[in-house]
Amino acid sequence: MHNYGAGPFVAAAATDMLTRNRIAHIPVGTGNTERYVAGIRKMGVTAIMATPSFALYLVDWLEERGIAPRSLGIARMAVAGEPGGGDPVIRNRIETAFGCTANEAMGIGDISITLWGECEDQGGMHFSGRDFVHVELIDPESGAALPFEDGAEGELVYTALRREAMPLLRFRSRDHVTVNAKPCTCGRTSVRVRCIGRTDDMLIVRGVNLFPSALRAVVNRFAPHVGEVVMIRPRTRGVMQEPPLPVAIELAAGAEPPPDLAERIRAAIRSELIVATEIELVPHLSLPRSEYKSRLVDFGKAG
Ligand SMILES: [Zn+2]
């Protein structure tokens, strides 16, 4: 079952892929969680495809209503559509709540549906579009090609090799990834990546590039004190920001955080991302949630 709000081009290709793999699929559409849960129960759904934001939203939605997520019987989940599904804390929250495995996938509507997908090793998404799509890694600032070496970081650039009517040459994805080139236990030899964010979401804090999803990944390491919902609330509009950057972080349900938690999070962000922040810890369920893709930056308080 899935509730992706994809346009006809991508959605049709994705559903055709499911049919070809002899998978009965039930498209539900976005925006009606009640119907989604009823569908899972009535039709004995065992696998769902969702954005990580929706999976987390569904955990909270079910728990608020006294329903154990495990009782739905979901065994497998494919998470895609935004960065976060490969974040260990987010994945663990989803897998533990539903008692399922959650594997991340990534595509790009302009080029192809799922081009990258995780195997059972869960160490990043293998490239699976070989012979159809040529992929390159570049330095986003200079445009220079980078080798797919272990630990490399850059932007993915795609060239469609079999397009007849709509060629795309060296299409810049704006997706920034880190590379895992270590041999994989599954035996596949293709390189693996983890998406750390998109240029479109990036803020520049006094000259330092900051991906909101990278900040969330640092914050998430302070589980179980914190939940998974983080909101950056810049004081001014636009990409360029002056430190300290205000960040609201939700505490986990029933958390009794140590008194220095905010300071420890601030120090970790400062040391890993070189950005000064002003941390506000807020109660569980007090930040807005998304039923589709998470917004990690809220300019609502910006002057
Ligand atoms: Zn593998």
Which domain CATH number covers 162? 2.30.38
CA-derived radius of gyration, the chain: 20
- 119 in any annotated domain: no
**Dist. CA 129 → ligand 1 center (Å):** 15
Which residues neighbour 121 within 8 Å (Cβ) at sequence distance 6 or greater? 184, 185, 186
Are 256 and 213 in a shared domain? Answer: yes
**Dist. CA 28 → ligand 1 center (Å):** 30
Are 263 and 173 in a shared domain? Answer: no
Please tell me the predicted confidence (pLDDT) of residue 4.
65
- 67 in any annotated domain: yes
Structure tokens at 82: 């935004």
For the stretch 113-156, pLDDT in tens is: 889 999 999 999 999 999 999 999 999 889 999 999 999 999 99
Please tell me the predicted confidence (pLDDT) of residue 152.
97
Task: Among 151, 180, 197, give the residue marking a domain's end.
Answer: 197
Please tell me the predicted confidence (pLDDT) of residue 31.
74
Are 9 and 100 in a shared domain? Answer: yes
Task: Among 138, 170, 197, give the residue marking a domain's end.
Answer: 197
**Dist. CA 199 → ligand 1 center (Å):** 27
Number of domains present in the structure of the chain: 3
Q: How far apart are CA 4 and CA 15, in angstroms?
A: 11
Amino acid making up residue 281 = L
Q: How far apart are CA 187 and CA 183, in angstroms?
A: 8
Please tell me the predicted confidence (pLDDT) of residue 131.
94
Please tell me the predicted confidence (pLDDT) of residue 164.
87
Please tell me the predicted confidence (pLDDT) of residue 212.
92
Please tell me the predicted confidence (pLDDT) of residue 153.
93
- 113 in any annotated domain: no
Please tell me the predicted confidence (pLDDT) of residue 197.
86
Preceding omega of 224 cis (within 30 degrees of 0): yes
**Dist. CA 282 → ligand 1 center (Å):** 38
**Dist. CA 52 → ligand 1 center (Å):** 21
Q: How far apart are CA 21 and CA 183, in angstroms?
A: 27
**Dist. CA 237 → ligand 1 center (Å):** 41
93: domain CATH number is 3.40.50.980
Task: Among 76, 108, 140, give the residue marking a domain's end.
Answer: 108
**Dist. CA 132 → ligand 1 center (Å):** 20
Are 228 and 173 in a shared domain? Answer: no
- 120 in any annotated domain: no
Core vs surface per residue 141-171: b (16+ CB within 10 A) or e: eeeeebebeeebebbbbbebeeeeeeeeeeb
- What does DSSP assign to residue 252? P
- 103 in any annotated domain: yes
Range of the domain at 95: 1-108
- 168 in any annotated domain: yes
* Cα separation values, 273 from 48, 142, 250, 269, Å: 34, 21, 20, 5
- What does DSSP assign to residue 242? P
Which residues make up the environment of ion ligand 1, defined by Cβ < 5 Å?
119, 121, 184, 186, 188
**Dist. CA 49 → ligand 1 center (Å):** 20
Are 129 and 89 in a shared domain? Answer: no
| Positions in the chain whose pLDDT score sits under 50 | none
**Dist. CA 297 → ligand 1 center (Å):** 33
